Chain A
Amino acid sequence: MERVDIGKPILDRNERLAAENREAFARAGVFVLDLMASPGAGKTSTILATVAALRDRYRIAVIEGDIASKVDSEKVKAHGIPAVQINTGGACHLESEMIRRAAEALPLDELDLIIVENVGNLVCPTEFDLGEDAKVMILSVPEGHDKPYKYPNIFQISEAVVLNKYDTMGVFDFDEEEFRSVVRSLNPAAPVFAISATKGDGVEAWAEWLADRIESARSRAAAQG
């Protein structure tokens, strides 16, 4: 018997491709946002509201990875935004290779922002780097304020948390104070944006945060020449 030391990340291949994606996106000057959520949390309506808020300032495209919603890319295209649907083959998360293939179908040089709609799942997408600039999660009020106890990892790796369907707060027994305090304990640096994507409430503050992130990525890139 011979012992062979390997000492390599298990997701080595995914991480290498993610690094290549990140480089390609940076070269093209496009900011990539990975949006993660449960099915039904309102990913598509959040994307549409975000597009509406930022489309005058940025050229936006969408990569749709959600297997549950094949109609989504049609909805996005109907708003005049380029969209690519990824066939995940039933996978529970997106991987960097799928993003690379989807990005090949987009005019990267003519874009400022790509929003990736990850597969509806709070567990699996957390381990996979796609080459994005930021991971953000959406939680909807009907899912309950205790979600962070059940799925802490996604709250820990997200740079911001969007709390969607905020207008239904009165209907569901959602303890906002407790929710915010658990999120703070998991990820003290992440802001929480309460929005109602379909009504447009609160979208502005979220969109401004995203615009700030895009601008700071640009000035960092400019500083590096």
Chain B
Amino acid sequence: MHEMGITRGILEAAFEAAEERGATRIAEIRIRVGELTEIVEFALQFAFESLTPGTLAEGAKLAVEHVGARSRCGRCGTEFDHGRFDALCPECGNPFNEPVAGRELLITSIDIETPEGLADALEDPGPAAGAVAAGEE
């Protein structure tokens, strides 16, 4: 269950960025996970749900983008997609290749609410809120 440690890493980075901007809430955290890592998304979501209550990220969504494995042939330079067990160059059969993608473990972005954003939202309630205000009763 190293997903606990991974999730702590995600939250550490997210809180740092959110606090820098004076965020009042984190609504969504986006991460990118390579196919060649040993990350189980279910365990990640579980850890996320157990670590976020009472924090800025309470109720936030964790969006996981999966990235397939891709390598560049060390001999002929061909770039090709592959699975875990078939990392041979399809052009020349060379097994010694440079990984290009598939080992990612990145936090890409977060969506936050800030007091400023909140003020904007209050000034401009938007069509949905407007519809309620102009209720026909």
Tell me whether B85 is interfacial, beta carbon within 8 Å.
Answer: yes
Task: Judge whether B105 is part of the interface by a CB distance below 8 angstroms.
Answer: yes
Main secondary structure of the interface of A (DSSP, over half): mixed
**CB atoms of B17 and A6 under 8 A apart:** yes
B110:A4 contact, CB within 8 angstroms = yes
- Cβ of B87: which chain A residues have Cβ within 8 Å of it? 185-186, 188
Q: For the complex, is B125 an interface residue (Cβ under 8 Å from A)? A: no
Q: Is the CB of A8 within 8 A of B2?
A: no
Q: Report the tally of A-B residue pairs with Cβ distances under 8 A.
A: 101
Partner pick for B85 among A3, A151, A185, CB 8 A cutoff = A185
Count A-side interface residues using an 8 Å CB cutoff: 33
Cβ-neighbour of A14 out of B9, B111, B114 (below 8 A): B9
Residue contact A2 to B21, C-beta cutoff 8 Å: yes
The reply on B31 being an interface residue by CB < 8 A is: yes
**Chain A residues, Cβ within 8 Å of B14:** 6
**In the complex, which residues of chain B have a beta carbon less than 8 angstroms from the beta carbon of A153?**
36-38
Residues from chain B with a CB closer than 8 A to the CB of A13 are 9, 12
Partner among A9, A95, A185 whose Cβ is within 8 Å of the Cβ of B106:
A9
A127 touches B85 (CB 8 A): no
How many chain B residues touch the partner (CB < 8 A)? Answer: 37
Chain A positions 127 through 152: 1 when the CB is less than 8 Å from some CB of chain B, otherwise 0: 11000000000000000000000011
Known: A93-B2, A123-B38, A124-B2. A6 touches B13 (CB 8 A): yes
Q: Which residue of B lies closest to A121 (CB)?
A: B2
> Which residues of B1-30 have CB atoms within 8 Å of chain A's CB atoms?
1-2, 5-6, 9-10, 12-14, 17-18, 21, 23, 27
State whether B36 touches A127 (Cβ < 8 A): no
Q: What is the bound-complex CA distance between A11 and B106, given in angstroms?
A: 8
Please, how many angstroms separate the alpha-carbon atoms of A38 and B30 in the complex? Answer: 33
Known: A1-B117, A124-B38. A6 touches B105 (CB 8 A): no
Query: A89 CB to closest chain B CB, in angstroms?
Result: 12
Residues of chain A whose beta carbon lies under 8 Å from any beta carbon of chain B = 1-14, 91-93, 95, 123-124, 126-128, 151-153, 156, 182, 184-186, 188-189
Known: A2-B21, A4-B21, A189-B96. 20 other contacts (CB 8 A): A1-B111, A2-B23, A4-B18, A6-B17, A7-B109, A8-B13, A8-B107, A9-B107, A10-B6, A11-B105, A95-B5, A124-B5, A127-B37, A127-B39, A128-B2, A151-B38, A182-B85, A185-B86, A186-B84, A188-B87
